[in-house]
C-alpha cells in the first residue's frame, strides 16, 4: 500500500536532524539547518521509497516502520521520545484534511535573524543585525576608514566587510545598505494636486530639472508629505529623492564583492525615521512632531516627522570634519591631532573633562556650531510656514558628533527641548557601544527594514 510523505513525518525528520547536529557537538542553529538541508536533499527520495515499500520485518505495523525509516535517514541514530511521539501521531491521526495528509508540505519558518544593516559613513563603517522579531541585537561592529583616495577606500570597505563577518557573530549574508548624502538628491518640492501616474510623471520631470539627471539613468522616488496652501489654492508637498543608477549599482557591487547579498538599497532619512520609531513607541510620541538631527562626520541629516510620516528632509553640509578643520586651524595642529583632541575631550564624562580644554575647544568650533544652528532654524522656519498649526515639539539629536555639549548649545538657541538618541537601548541584549551611542542611528534603522 502506497503511503505519502506527510507534514507530521517531515516535522519528525526536522527535529531529528536538529537533535543529530546538537549530538555531534554542533549546538549552533546554522549547523542544524545545514544538517536538515542535507537530510532533505539527499534523503527525501530514499525516505519516500522506503515508505512505499513493504517492510517484512515489521509487517503492517506502520508506526515501527516509520521509526525505522527515520533512523536510516539520519544515520541509524536512536529516535528520541519526543520524535517517537511525533511519529505516533501518524497512527493516531490529526485534524488535517485527507488532502493535506497526502501532500508533502514544507512550511517555511520566519527568519531567525533580520538583515545586516550596513551604514557606510564618511569615516567609519557600522554594522548592526537584529533577530527575526526585531527585539534583540545579534551583533554590532564598527570599523574606521583612513583612506581619502576613492579606489583605496573601496578596497578598505570590502576588506572590512569580509573581516567583520569572519570575526563577529553576524548570521547569514542578507544585507541592507543605504545611499549617502553625496549620492542622493533630496528636496522638498511643491507640485500640482495629482495622483497615480500623473503625479509620478510630474515628479520625474521635476527630478530631471532640479537634480540635473533623469530618464533611464535615474532612480526617482518620492514621499507625499501633504497638501499645503499656496496663495489662493492648494498644492501638494512632496519629498523628492533621486539617485543615479550607476551609484546604486556600484554600492550593490561592493557588498557582493564582500560576499553579501543586497536585499535593499535604502536612504539615510528613511533609516533615521525607522530608528526613531523603535525608540519612541508611545501614542503621544506618535502624535508629536519631532525634528530628528543626525550630525555625522561629513554632513548633518534633518528629518521632521509626525509618527511614521516624514514631512521634511534636508541635508546640511556641516559635520565633524568641518569642526576638526576649525580646531586644527585654531590650535595650528594637524587634522588628525585636532580630531583626536576633540574625541578625547568629548568622550569623557562632564566631571572628568578639563574645563580649560573644553572651553578652548568650544571657542574653536563656535563658528561651525553657529552655522549649524542657523541652518536648523531655517528648517524650522520653513516647516512652520508650510505645515501650520502644530509646531515641532522636540529635537532628537543623533550621529557620531551628538553629545551633551552639542545638546546644551542647540537647545537655548532653537528654544525647543533637545534629547540624545539612544538607538541601541530599544532592544534586548544591548552590547557595550561607547559614549557616542547616536552613531548607530542609521545602521539600526537599516537593520529594522523588512525584506522579502
CATH at 417: 3.30.420.40
What pLDDT, on a 0 to 100 scale, did the predictor assign at position 452? 77
In whole angstroms, give the CA distance from residue 251 to residue 247: 6
Please check whether residue 35 lies inside any domain of the structure: yes
Instruction: Tell me, yes or no, whether 163 and 69 share the same domain.
Output: no
Residue ending a domain, among 102, 125, 151, is 102
Residue ending a domain, among 41, 73, 102, is 102
Please check whether residue 75 lies inside any domain of the structure: yes
Please check whether residue 329 lies inside any domain of the structure: yes
> What is the sign of the dihedral through the CA atoms of 423, 425, 430 and 431?
positive
What is this structure's pTM?
0.75
In whole angstroms, give the CA distance from residue 243 to residue 207: 10
Instruction: Tell me, yes or no, whether 125 and 68 share the same domain.
Output: no
Instruction: Tell me, yes or no, whether 288 and 431 share the same domain.
Output: yes
Instruction: Tell me, yes or no, whether 71 and 150 share the same domain.
Output: no
Buried b (16+ CB within 10 A) or exposed e, 191-208: beeeeeeebeebbbebbb
Please check whether residue 188 lies inside any domain of the structure: no
Please check whether residue 107 lies inside any domain of the structure: no
In whole angstroms, give the CA distance from residue 245 to residue 218: 5
Instruction: Tell me, yes or no, whether 88 and 139 share the same domain.
Output: no
In whole angstroms, give the CA distance from residue 182 to residue 152: 18
Please check whether residue 109 lies inside any domain of the structure: no
Instruction: Tell me, yes or no, whether 120 and 66 share the same domain.
Output: no
CB atoms near residue 76 (< 10 Å): 9
Please check whether residue 189 lies inside any domain of the structure: no
Give me the number of domains the chain comprises. Answer: 2
Instruction: Tell me, yes or no, whether 327 and 278 share the same domain.
Output: yes
Query: To which residue does cell 521509526 refer?
Result: 67
Instruction: Tell me, yes or no, whether 97 and 142 share the same domain.
Output: no
Instruction: Tell me, yes or no, whether 133 and 90 share the same domain.
Output: no
> What is the sign of the dihedral through the CA atoms of 303, 304, 305 and 311?
negative
Please check whether residue 395 lies inside any domain of the structure: yes
* Neighbouring residues of 135: CB distance < 8 A, sequence distance ≥ 6: 427, 428
For the chain, 452 residues long, give each residue's pLDDT as a single digit of tens.
Answer: 334 444 455 555 556 555 555 545 544 455 555 544 555 544 444 444 544 554 444 445 555 555 555 555 555 445 454 445 554 444 444 444 444 544 444 444 556 899 999 999 988 999 999 999 999 999 999 999 877 788 999 999 999 999 999 999 999 999 999 999 999 999 999 999 999 999 999 999 999 999 988 888 999 999 999 999 888 889 999 999 999 999 999 999 999 999 999 999 999 999 999 999 999 989 898 899 999 999 999 999 999 999 999 999 999 999 999 999 999 999 999 999 999 888 887 666 555 667 888 888 999 999 999 999 999 999 999 999 999 888 999 999 999 999 998 999 999 999 999 999 999 988 987 776 667 889 999 999 999 999 97
Instruction: Tell me, yes or no, whether 256 and 291 share the same domain.
Output: yes
Structural domain that includes position 83: 7-102
Instruction: Tell me, yes or no, whether 94 and 118 share the same domain.
Output: no
Residue ending a domain, among 59, 82, 102, is 102
CB 261 within 8 A of CB 118: no
DSSP strand pairing (300-306 vs 309-316) = antiparallel
Instruction: Tell me, yes or no, whether 83 and 120 share the same domain.
Output: no
CB 295 within 8 A of CB 320: yes
Amino acid at each position: 500500500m502506497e503511503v505519502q510523505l506527510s507534514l507530521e513525518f517531515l516535522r519528525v525528520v526536522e527535529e531529528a536532524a536538529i537533535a543529530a547536529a546538537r549530538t555531534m557537538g554542533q549546538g549552533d542553529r546554522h549547523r542544524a539547518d545545514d544538517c536538515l538541508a542535507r537530510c532533505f536533499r539527499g534523503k527525501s527520495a530514499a525516505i519516500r521509497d522506503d515508505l512505499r515499500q513493504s517492510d517484512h520485518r515489521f509487517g503492517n505495523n506502520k508506526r515501527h516502520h516509520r521509526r525505522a525509516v527515520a533512523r536510516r535517514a539520519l544515520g541509524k541514530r536512536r529516535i528520541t521520545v519526543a520524535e517517537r511521539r511525533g511519529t505516533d501521531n501518524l497512527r493516531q491521526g490529526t485534524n488535517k484534511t485527507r488532502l493535506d495528509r497526502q501532500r508533502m508540505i514544507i512550511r517555511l519558518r520566519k527568519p531567525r535573524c533580520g538583515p545586516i544593516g550596513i551604514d557606510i559613513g564618511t569615516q567609519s563603517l557600522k554594522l548592526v543585525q537584529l533577530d527575526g522579531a526585531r527585539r534583540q541585537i545579534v551583533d554590532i561592529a564598527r570599523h574606521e576608514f583612513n583612506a581619502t583616495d576613492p579606489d583605496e577606500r573601496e578596497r578598505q570597505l570590502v576588506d572590512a566587510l569580509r573581516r567583520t563577518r569572519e570575526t563577529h557573530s553576524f548570521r547569514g549574508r542578507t544585507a541592507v545598505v543605504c545611499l549617502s548624502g553625496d549620492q542622493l538628491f533630496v528636496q522638498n518640492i511643491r507640485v500640482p494636486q495629482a495622483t497615480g501616474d500623473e503625479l509620478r510623471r510630474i515628479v520625474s520631470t521635476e527630478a530631471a530639472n532640479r537634480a540635473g539627471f533623469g530618464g533611464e539613468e535615474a532612480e526617482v522616488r518620492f514621499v507625499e508629505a501633504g497638501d499645503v496652501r499656496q496663495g489662493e489654492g492648494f498644492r501638494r508637498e512632496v519629498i523628492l529623492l533621486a539617485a543615479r543608477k550607476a551609484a546604486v549599482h556600484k554600492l550593490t557591487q561592493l557588498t557582493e564583492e564582500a560576499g553579501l547579498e543586497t536585499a535593499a538599497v535604502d536612504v539615510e532619512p528613511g533609516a533615521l525615521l525607522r530608528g526613531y520609531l523603535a525608540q519612541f513607541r508611545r501614542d503621544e510620541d506618535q502624535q508629536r512632531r519631532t525634528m530628528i538631527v543626525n550630525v555625522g562626520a561629513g554632513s548633518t541629516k534633518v528629518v521632521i516627522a509626525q509618527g511614521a510620516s516624514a514631512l521634511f528632509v534636508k541635508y546640511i553640509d556641516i559635520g565633524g570634519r568641518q569642526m576638526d578643520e576649525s580646531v586644527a586651524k585654531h590650535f595650528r595642529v594637524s587634522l588628525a591631532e585636532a580630531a583626536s583632541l576633540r574625541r578625547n575631550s568629548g568622550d569623557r564624562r562632564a566631571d572628568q573633562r578639563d574645563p580649560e580644554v573644553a572651553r578652548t575647544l568650544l571657542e574653536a568650533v563656535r563658528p561651525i556650531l553657529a552655522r549649524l544652528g542657523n541652518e536648523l532654524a531655517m528648517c524650522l522656519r520653513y516647516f512652520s510656514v508650510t505645515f501650520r498649526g502644530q509646531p515641532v515639539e522636540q529635537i532628537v539629536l543623533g550621529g557620531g558628533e551628538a553629545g551633551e555639549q552639542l545638546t546644551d548649545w542647540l537647545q537655548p538657541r532653537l528654544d525647543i527641548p533637545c534629547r540624545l538618541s539612544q538607538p541601541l537601548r530599544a532592544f534586548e541584549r544591548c552590547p557595550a557601544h561607547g559614549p557616542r551611542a547616536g552613531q548607530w542611528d542609521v545602521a539600526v534603522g537599516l537593520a529594522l527594514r523588512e525584506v522579502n
